[in-house]
Structure 1
C-alpha cells in the first residue's frame, strides 16, 4: 500500500513539473551576429530579421532563404548604438532607435526614409504603422509621442506620470497602447488623444502588445500580473497562469488568429500561451552567447512563422525556430 501511495505521489509530481520544463532542442538555427547584438527584430511571419551590432551595424536577413539581403549601415553619423528595432506589421518598413533619435527604413528598397531627433526625453520603446508614416515613441519623461512623418502632425499623450516602458501601435496607426512605471497601461486614440481603456497593475508595466486586428491587448508588469484583454470592451479574457513569482517579459506577440501569445524573457525563455485560458502551451530555452556568464540571452523578439513554428531573436545574435508540441 505504501509503495502504491509513493508511486501515485511521484507520478503527480512529475505531471505537475512537466509543464515547467523548457526544451532547448530547436528545429532550425541562424547565427547572424557571432559576437551578439543589442537589438534584433523579426517580421510578423518570422521570415525577415533586422539585427544590429556594433561590429556590422544594421543588417537585413531573409531567414527562409538563409540569405543576407542588405547591410543598411549606421543609423546616424555618430554610429550611435541602436537599442530598439520594430518591423511594421506588413513587413515593408522598419523603425530603429537610439536613445536620442530614430530612423525609418523602407526594407523593400533597403534604404532610409529619414532620421529624426528627440530632445525632451530618452527613447524607451518605439513602434511603426504598416504604411511607414506613423511612429509611436515611449519616453523617459512620461510622454508617449505619436508622429505622422508625412503631415508633420505630432500628438503628445500625457496620461502617464512616469517613464513609458513599452508601446504598441495598431497597423493602421489609429490606436496606441502604452505602459509605464506609474502602474498603468492605456489604450488611446491617436486621432483624438482620448483614452479608450485603462488597465491598472500592481507594479510597473513593462510590456504591452496589440493583436493586429484590434481584438485583443496584452499588458504585463514587474510581478506576475500578465493579462490578455478583450477589445474594445476592456474585459479580462485570460490571465497568464504561472507558478513563478515574476513574469517579466522582454517581448510579446499575438498569433494572427489571436489564439496564442508568444513571449520572451530577459533570461532566454520563450513561452507560448493559450489566450483563452492563460495556460502555457509550450516553452523553449534560447541559446546564449558562447562563454557568457551567466549563460543567458535576452529574447528581443518572437513570432509565429507560416509553418506555425515559433521564431525567436536574442541578444546572442541568434535566431531559432521551435516546433510547437501537439
Structure 2
C-alpha cells in the first residue's frame, strides 16, 4: 500500500471518527479533513479558496477547498527541527508568509515558489507576522519588542521601537503603509510604516494579545489577555464599541468581514464567534469539532472567515475546515 493511499484511508478514518464521537451541531453544514495529524498553525485566504496549515511532521500544506486536495506542500526544512508556528495570507490571497521561531519565508501561491527567507538575530524569536498585497511588504514582530517592516523591492528595513516589551500581535494594511501592533507593554499602536509615527494608541490593563485591521481602512481591533477588547474608528481613533466579554476570554484569531459589519474571532477553547462592530454585541457562537490529539478534548480555532455565500468557514487544530450556517 502506498503512502498516499494510506494517508487517504487515515483521513477518511479520522473524519468518520470525529463524526461518530462528536455530537454534530445543527448549524454545521459540512467538513473537510485538511490534515490527519496534529497541526500547530493555520490560516484562511481572504479572497480565494485556499487555506494553509502547519503540521507536526509534514511542513506546510496549502489546501484548495474547491478541489478538495493539497495544492502545495511547502517547508522550512525538516519540520521536526523547524516547526512553522505562524501562517498568514496577503489580503489579495496571492502570497503566503510563514515563520518558525527564527526564520520567515514568503511564498508565491501561483506556483508555490519561495521568494526569500529572512533570519532573526541571535537570541531573537518571531512573535507574529503580516504581509501586504503583492508580497511587497513584510511585518515581523519580535521577542525583543522591536518590529521589522521590510520592503522587498528596495530592500528597505524600518525598525519600529515604540514598544518596550515583547510583541504579541501584528497586522498590516493591504498596501503596507500602516501597521497595528500589540505588546506585553499594555499598548497597541497604529503607526505609519513610512515614518514610524504613531497615529493612534490603545491602552489596556493587561498585555495585548490580538489585533486586527479592516482591509478597507475603516476599523481596528485591539484585545488583551483578560477582558478588554475594543473596536476603534481608524480615522479618528474614537472607540466605536467594546466587546461584551466574560472574564478570561482570549482570542486566537480576529478579522473583519469585507462589508465591515462583523468581527470574526476564534479562541483556544473551540469557540468561533461573530460580533457586531458598531455595538460590540455577540451575534453568534459556534463550537468547532475537538481535536482527537487534545486531552482533554478541545481545539484552537486558527481562523474564521465569512464566505460570499453567507456561510462561515472555520479552521482549527483538529485539522478540519468546517462550514457553518450563519443567519444574523
TM-score normalised over the length of structure 2 = 0.89
Q: 1:85 to 1:151 in 2, by over 3 A?
A: same
- Equivalent residue, structure 1, for 2:260: 258
Of 53, 61, 68, which residue of structure 2 is paired with 1:51?
53
Deviation at 1:150, TM superposition (A): 2.0
Deviation at 1:218, TM superposition (A): 0.2
Question: Which structure's relative contact order is higher, taking Cα pairs within 8 Å and 6+ residues apart?
Answer: 1
Instruction: Give the Cα separation in 2 of the matches to 1:51 and 1:290.
Output: 17
Using a 3 Å threshold, how does the CA distance of structure 1 residues 139 and 291 change in structure 2: closer, same or farther? closer
Native 8 Å contact 2:88 2:97 kept in 1: yes
Tell me the residue number matched to 1:33: 35
> How far, CA to CA, are the matches of 1:159 and 1:192 in structure 2?
12
Map residues 152-191 of structure 1 onto 2, 5 A cutoff. 152-191=155-194
2:153 aligned to which of 150, 158, 179: 150
Equivalent pair of 2:140/2:148 in contact (CA under 8 Å): yes
Distance 1:291 1:100 in 2: 26
Equivalent residue runs for 1:79-94 within 5 Å: 80-94=82-96
CA contact (8 A) 2:47 2:91 kept: no
CA distance in 2, matches of 1:204, 1:180: 6
Distance across 1 between alignment mates of 2:299 and 2:48 = 19
Match of 1:109 among 97, 105, 111: 111
Residue 226 of structure 2 is matched in structure 1 by: 223
Question: Which one has the largest radius of gyration?
Answer: 1
Which 4+ residue blocks in structure 1 deviate beyond 6 angstroms? none
* Alignment partners' CA distance in 1, 2:46 and 2:163: 29
Asked if the contact 1:262–1:272 (Cα under 8 Å) also holds between the matched residues in 2, the reply is yes
2:288 is aligned to: 286
Aligned residues: 303
Give the distance between the partners of 2:234 and 2:287, measured in 1 at CA: 32
Q: What corresponds to 1:75 in structure 2?
A: 76
- SS at the partner of 2:51? strand
The SS at the match of 1:27 is: strand
On the 8 A contact 1:249/1:265 being kept in 2, the answer is yes
Over the residues paired in the alignment, what is the CA RMSD in angstroms? Answer: 1.6
Contact 1:24 1:287 in 2 (8 A): no
1:313 is the counterpart of 2:315? yes
CA distance in 2, matches of 1:144, 1:97: 14
Q: Is the CA contact 2:38–2:56 (under 8 Å) kept in the aligned structure 1? A: no
Consecutive unaligned residues in structure 2, runs of 5 or more: 1-23
Secondary structure at 1:113 match in 2: strand
Quote how far apart the aligned CAs of 1:260 are: 0.2
List gaps (5 residues or longer) in structure 1: 1-21
Distance in structure 2 (CA, Å) of the matches to 1:203 and 1:218: 15
- The TM-score with structure 1 as length reference comes to 0.89
Match of 2:21 in 1: none
- The answer to whether the aligner puts 1:122 opposite 2:125 as a matched pair is yes
Change (3 A) 1:293 1:46: farther
Tell me, in whole angstroms, the C-alpha distance in 2 between the residues paired with 1:291 and 1:168. 30
Q: Measure the CA separation in 2 of the matches of 1:137 and 1:291.
A: 30
